[in-house]
Structure formats: C-alpha cells, structure tokens
C-alpha cells in the first residue's frame, strides 16, 4: 500500500544506510558552532582586549610615581677670574649620589579621564555586540544549510516512495503484458520513468552529501559523520505573535541597531574629549630628594642634603583656543552622521521585520494550498490508475498523473520546511535567533 501523506511529511529517512548517523538538533548545532567557530573565537578575544582597555583607562586615575637612584664620580673643578686668569684648582668630593621619589596626581582634567573610561566601556559593548552579530549570522547560515539538508531528506523520501510505486506498476504492466492486455512499449515507458526517478534521487543524494560535508566542517565534526535532521522539528510549537511584538523584539535585541546606537555614544564621548582639551588640568605634586655632595656651595660640602615638597600644578594648552574648535565641530558632525545612520538602520530593520512577518504568514497559506494540491493529485492518480487497470486510460495518462503527484508532494514538503525557515528568519532579523 502507498504510504500516507502524513507519514511522508513528518518522517525522515537517512541519506543512505549509515552505520551510526548522528541526529542533530538545532540547539545542539548552535552549541557546536559556538565551540568551534574560528571567527567567533576571534570576536571573543576582541572582548577580552576591550576589557583590558577599560582597566588601562581606569589606571589613569592613579598617581604617577617615579623612583630614581644614581651614583656618580665627580672630578675636581677649577676657579678662574672673569677674564680666565688666576687658574685655581677646586677639589670636589668625588663620590656623588642622588635618590629621588616624585609623585603627581591629576585631580582635574576637564573630564578627559572620565570620558576615556566611558569610551573604553562603549568599545567593549561594541565588541560584545559584534560578537552577537557574528553569532547570529553564523547561526542563520548553518540553519539554512540544516534546513536544506532537511528538505533534501524529505525529497528523497518522496522519490523513494515514487520509485516503489513505479516498480509496483511495472510489475502490474508486465503481468498484463503476459496476459496480452498490455504492450511491450508500456513496460518500456515505465522503466524509462523509473530510470529518471533514480537519476533525480542520485542528484539529491549528491547534494545532501555536499551539505553534510559543509556542516561537519563548520561544526568541527569528523567528516565521516552523517548528520540526520531532527525528526521532531515540524512538531515544535512556534510563537504566534503579532507584528508589533516582533518589531519590539527587534528594537530591543537587534545587534545591528545596537551597534548603531553605540556608535552615537562613542562619537558623543569623543566630542566631550575634544572639549576637555580646552580646559585646564590640575595636578597634585609631591617629591623627596636625597642628594650629595652639596655642590652649590664653594667649596662643596661633602654631606648629603635631603629635602621634600608638596604642591599644586596647573597646565593649560593655549593652542587649544584656536585648534580645538575645529576638532569639536568635526566631532559634532560625526555625532550627527551617526544619528542619521542609526535612523536609517532602524527604518531598514522595521521594513525587514514587516516583510519577514508577512512572509511567515504567507508560508501557512502556501502550505494549505500545497496540501490541497496533494489531496487532489492523489485523487487524480487513483482515478487514472483505476481507469488504466481497467483499460480505460493510456500509459501517458498514468505518467502524467504520477508526475503531477510527485510535483505536488515535493511542493508540500518544501512548504513545510518554508514555515520553519520563515519563522527563524524573523528571529534572525529581530536578533533573537
């Protein structure tokens, strides 16, 4: 008996007869991609670099401390009159030493240090968002390959069923030929159809092998692994939400939109840093020096001299008065550009979500149409087969009916896979894949 359509659509056969096929769920596939993707590893290293950059920026709040120690040999000096006469040797203690400890702490920089820390944090968020975006892109690519493999598996199932059906018809025609009620050419026509079906099946098997190899490489699996699609995927419930809900998800989760918003934050911080260059910088300084001998006296005093001081220092770059205005205007333009870019991304995202939602709804309408087509094609085939077996139809009618049935079944298979793809396409666009 012919296998029912429900079994055709909800069951999956393996590409061949592998010894140990590996049933791979979508979640497991995503996990393997997370573990083995080289590009994701690079992106994650970028997050580590950005994290260290925050620590470097925070370290600018700490004081600078310099410790210096030196020892030297001092040669004898000499003294002359202003006209270089009356040369007299001036003995100097030969051993000299210097020990110094200097510290300075910037207590006000016009917000430059604070903004630099904030900028480093934004750059870390950008690195994290870039990783999320890359992750979404990798998952969507793998999902496409996975569903294509799924589709091929279903198509091969249909072809195998039609091969079995054609084989049964060939046996029936051969029996009628022996009884003298069918022509030899009828057998030949069906055998030709059988060879065409086998050829198409072989093409599908080759395509499946190629996709299987690509998935194994992407997921870090041995090339000999035969990936079997998850047979429960068509039974999984998918969230029935309105378009507004998906638009809200995209606005909150889209890595592309988040990247654009972070660009605005980064440009605004850079503008603040340019403005900070026009402000004075205030520092606390302290030092302790231990020197010897005391050479400022004549004759030199062969003793050590220790002194320390604490004070405040202020610095101001006068050139900023006529240089930084241009840099500030440049930074302002960059902010305006990033805002316009974000708005453009938001508009494109809104359109993409709306299109994906419409396509998702349309996929159910298409499935209903394909289901009806399969039903009609099966009824037509049964009628033509009965007529042919009762010698009321010719062999070409049977071939046409069989091809119509095959086409309808393949289209229904593709429609079911199309629903899964359309749903995950919405999740990908919204940034929730």
Q: Which of 426, 1, 17 is nearest to 248 (CA)?
A: 426
Q: Which CATH architecture best describes the domain 5-430?
A: Up-down Bundle (1.20)
- CB-based burial label for 401 (10 Å; 0-12, 13-18, 19+): buried
pLDDT category at 334 given cuts 50, 70, 90 is: very high
Average pLDDT of every residue of the chain:
86
Q: Are 313 and 286 in contact (CB under 8 A)?
A: no
pLDDT higher at 426 or 309:
426
CA angle 117, 120, 125 (to 5 degrees): 130
Lowest mean pLDDT among 22-31, 48-57, 183-192: 183-192
| pLDDT tens digits for range 65-113 | 888 888 888 888 888 878 888 888 878 888 888 888 888 888 888 888 8
pLDDT higher at 240 or 290:
290
pLDDT category at 257 given cuts 50, 70, 90 is: very high
Q: Are 22 and 228 in contact (CB under 8 A)?
A: yes
Distance CA 264, CA 256 (A): 13
Distance CA 33, CA 217 (A): 10
Distance CA 223, CA 207 (A): 15
| pLDDT tens digits for range 151-183 | 898 888 888 888 888 888 888 888 888 888 778
The pTM (predicted TM-score) of the whole model is 0.76
How confident is the model over 230-253, as a mean pLDDT?
Answer: 84
Q: Give the 3-state secondary structure of the chain.
A: CCCCHHHHHHCCCCCCCCCCCEEECHHHHHHHHHHHCHHHHHHHHHHHHHHHHHHHHHHCCCCEEEEEEEEEECCCEEECCCCCCCCEEECCCCEEEEEEEEEEEEEECCCHHHHHHHHHHHHHHHHHHHHHHHHHHHHHHHHHHHHHHHHHHHHHHHHHHHHHHHHHHHHHHHHHHHHCCCCHHHHHHHHHHHHHHHHHHHHHHHHHHHHHHHHHHHHCCCCCCCEEECCCHHHCCCCCCCHHHHHHHHHHHCHHHHHHHHHHHHHHHHHHHHHHCCCCEEEEEEEEEEEECECCCCCCECCCEEEEEEEEEEECCCCHHHHHHHHHHHHHHHHHHHHHHHHHHHHHHHHHHHHHHHHHHHHHHHHHHHHHHHHHHHHHHHHHHHHHHCCCCCHHHHHHHHHHHHHHHHHHHHHHHHHHHHHHHHHHHHCCC
């Amino acid at each position: 008996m012919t296998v029912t359509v429900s079994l055709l659509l909800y069951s999956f056969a393996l590409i061949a007869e592998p010894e140990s096929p590996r049933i791979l769920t979508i979640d497991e596939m995503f996990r393997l991609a997370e573990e083995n993707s080289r590009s994701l590893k690079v992106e994650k290293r970028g997050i580590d670099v950005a994290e260290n950059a925050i620590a470097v920026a925070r370290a600018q709040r700490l004081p600078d401390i310099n410790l210096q120690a030196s020892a030297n040999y001092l040669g004898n000096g000499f003294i002359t009159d202003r006209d270089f006469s009356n040369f007299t040797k001036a003995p100097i203690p030969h051993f000299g030493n210097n020990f110094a400890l200097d510290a300075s702490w910037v207590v006000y920089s016009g917000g430059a240090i604070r903004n630099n820390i904030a900028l480093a944090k934004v750059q870390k968020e950008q690195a994290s968002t870039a990783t999320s975006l890359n992750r979404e892109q990798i998952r969507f690519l793998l999902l496409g390959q996975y569903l294509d493999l799924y589709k091929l598996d279903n198509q091969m199932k249909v072809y195998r069923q039609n091969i079995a059906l054609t084989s049964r018809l060939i046996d029936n025609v051969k029996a009628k030929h022996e009884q003298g009620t069918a022509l030899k050419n009828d057998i030949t026509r069906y055998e030709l159809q059988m060879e065409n079906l086998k050829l198409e099946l072989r093409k599908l098997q080759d395509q499946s092998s190629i996709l299987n190899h690509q998935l194994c490489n992407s997921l870090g699996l041995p090339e000999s692994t035969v990936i079997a699609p998850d047979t429960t995927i068509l039974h999984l419930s998918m969230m029935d939400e309105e378009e507004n809900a998906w638009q809200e998800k995209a606005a909150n989760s889209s890595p592309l939109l988040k990247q654009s918003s972070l660009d605005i934050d980064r440009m605004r911080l850079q503008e603040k840093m340019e403005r900070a260059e026009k402000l004075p910088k205030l520092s606390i300084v302290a030092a302790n020096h231990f020197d010897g001998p005391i050479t400022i006296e004549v004759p030199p005093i062969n003793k050590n001299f220790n002194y320390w001081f604490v004070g405040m220092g202020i610095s101001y770059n006068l050139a900023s008065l006529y240089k930084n205005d241009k840099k500030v205007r440049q930074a302002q333009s960059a902010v305006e550009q990033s805002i316009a870019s974000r708005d453009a991304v938001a508009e494109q995202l809104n359109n993409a979500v709306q299109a994906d939602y419409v396509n998702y709804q349309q996929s159910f309408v298409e499935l209903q149409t394909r289901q009806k087509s399969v039903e009609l094609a099966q009824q037509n085939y049964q009628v033509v087969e009965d007529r042919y077996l009762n010698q009321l139809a010719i062999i070409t009618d049977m071939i046409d009916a069989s091809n119509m049935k095959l086409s309808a079944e393949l289209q229904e298979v593709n429609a079911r896979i199309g629903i899964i793809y359309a749903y995950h396409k919405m999740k990908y666009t919204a940034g929730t894949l």
